[in-house]
Amino acid sequence: MSDSPSASFLPEHPPVTDWVHDFDHTDPVWTDDPFPIWETLRAASPVVHTERFLGCYMPTTYQAVKEIAYDTEHFSSRRVIVRDVRPEISARAPPITSDPPEHKPAKQVLLPPFTPDAMKRLEPRVRAICNELIDEFIADGHCDAAARYTKHIPVRAIAHMLGIPEKDGDLFIKWIHQILELGIKDENEMMSGVREMTGYFMAHLEQRKLAPSDDLISQLLRAKGPGGQPLTDEHVLGSLRLLLIAGIDTTWSAIGSSLWHLARTPADRERLIAEPALIPTAIEEFLRAYSPVTMAREVIKETTISGCPVKAGNMVLLSFPAANRDPAMFPDADKVVIDRKENRHAAFGLGIHRCVGSNLARMEMQVAIEEWLKRIPDFRLDPAGKVTWSEGTVRGPRQLPVLFGKNA
């Protein structure tokens, strides 16, 4: 799925030679291994700038990321992806693209269906999904764990919540690829993905209006906005867009990175099998060390962050993943310590935009790792295959060839 930028786009993105003054989060070097780059940027300044993407800053320390995440006066969420273009804002996705005061009521509508208790009710279905997927390849002794396992878990879980057919998952994956990866450089791909997705959900909306049920789409249609009025169709569609875009390749990536780590680290694998009670703590560490999601803000008023001047009109690459590798915040930041006791990681963001699906993501990760380790305790990367990583806003393995069983 992780298409490299095709040749026609390359002239716009010349290879980076000076990371500190000309960073590019779509450069193949960054995609392959961003960690040493972040270290270089952090050593240079708490905030760096590039002229690419029509001007963009990146905070490199936990402290600078936190300052920006908490500052909704100078930094707007109206654009949440750093792209080559900045067209007029058309397709909103509240609350992720909302600023105060619109943000809070839009978020409160979405929160109750995603509490830990609600996730407990969904958990048995997710456990079954994981086992159905494993059944399909376990006899082979090898699989691409990204394509056959991690990719399908969040899609089917969110489809189940929304009350739409789990088999439509492949459509969702295509739209997300168009919006989050191809869309950074190609407006037509972005708009075509958004258009198809909107049409698909509009049909489901109309159907729920005629025959309401208990699923999340029906719940949103029943929900009341701030003035006690029902939400508009446009608002419901925006929130559904958000759930799909934010809820799928993020968790796909997080589960994939966790399996990638475990495939390469037999000691951690053995310890989690011997002490399954440690899995939730290990999941937090995987979230810290391999945070999948980088957000964005737009500077709307000049200010200073960690002593660095920041000018309006620029975008901000809000790298929670880089913040989570800051040694000033986390001792041994570059080591994966699966029993790390103190872990205030920011994988789900900080401040008012805390990921609405964090409880869902955590449950999916835990269940996916538990079920995999139960049935495939011993596995390793396939030396004949190649691990590839997604480009841009969400980082995770898109090909993850592993050997197990008779091949372990």
Interface residues with other proteins (CB under 8 A)?
108, 111-112, 114-117, 280, 284, 341-346, 348, 350-352, 354, 358-359, 362
Q: Which is nearer to other proteins, 284 or 391 (CB)?
A: 284
Tell the smallest beta-carbon distance from residue 195 to other proteins (Å): 33
User: What are the Cα distances from residue 234, in Å, to 44, 93, 109, 199, 202?
Assistant: 44, 9, 15, 12, 9
Question: Three-state DSSP class for 17?
Answer: coil
CB of 89 to other proteins, least distance (A): 25
Residue 111 or residue 312: which is nearer to other proteins going by CB?
111
Minimal distance, residue 120 CB to other proteins, in Å: 12
Residues 296, 318 contacting (CB under 8 angstroms): yes
User: What are the CA-CA distances from residue 73 to residues 229, 246, 297, 299, 367 (Å)?
Assistant: 28, 24, 11, 9, 39
Pick 135 or 275: Cβ nearer other proteins: 275
Nearer to other proteins, 112 or 212 (CB): 112
| Helix (H) / strand (E) containing 138 | none
Q: Cα–Cα–Cα angle for 331, 336, 340, nearest 5°?
A: 60
Cβ nearer to other proteins, comparing 164 with 346: 346
Q: Which residue is it, tokens 């009710």?
A: 121
97 or 359: whose CB is closer to other proteins? Answer: 359
Closest approach, Cβ 358 to other proteins, in A, equals 6
Q: In what order do the strands lie in the sheet with 379-381?
A: 142-144, 401-404, 379-381
Compute the least distance from the CB of residue 119 to other proteins, in Å: 10
Burial zone of 36 (CB within 10 Å; 0-12 exposed, 13-18 middle, 19+ buried) = exposed
Query: Taking the complex as a whole, how short is the minimal distance between the CB of residue 112 and other proteins, in angstroms?
Result: 5
Least distance to other proteins, CB of residue 354, Å: 4
Q: Toward other proteins, which CB reaches closer, 27 or 67?
A: 67
Read off the DSSP letter of residue 180: I
Cβ distance to other proteins smaller for residue 335 or 344 = 344
The DSSP call for residue 295 is E
Reduced to 3 states (helix: H, G, I; strand: E, B; else coil), residue 304 is strand
Grouping H, G, I as helix, E, B as strand and the rest as coil, residue 276 is helix
* Of residues 339, 340, 323, the one with CA closest to residue 331: 340
Report the distance separating Cα 217 and Cα 215, nearest Å.
6
End-to-end CA distance of the chain: 26
Q: Is 321 helix (H, G, I), strand (E, B) or coil?
A: helix
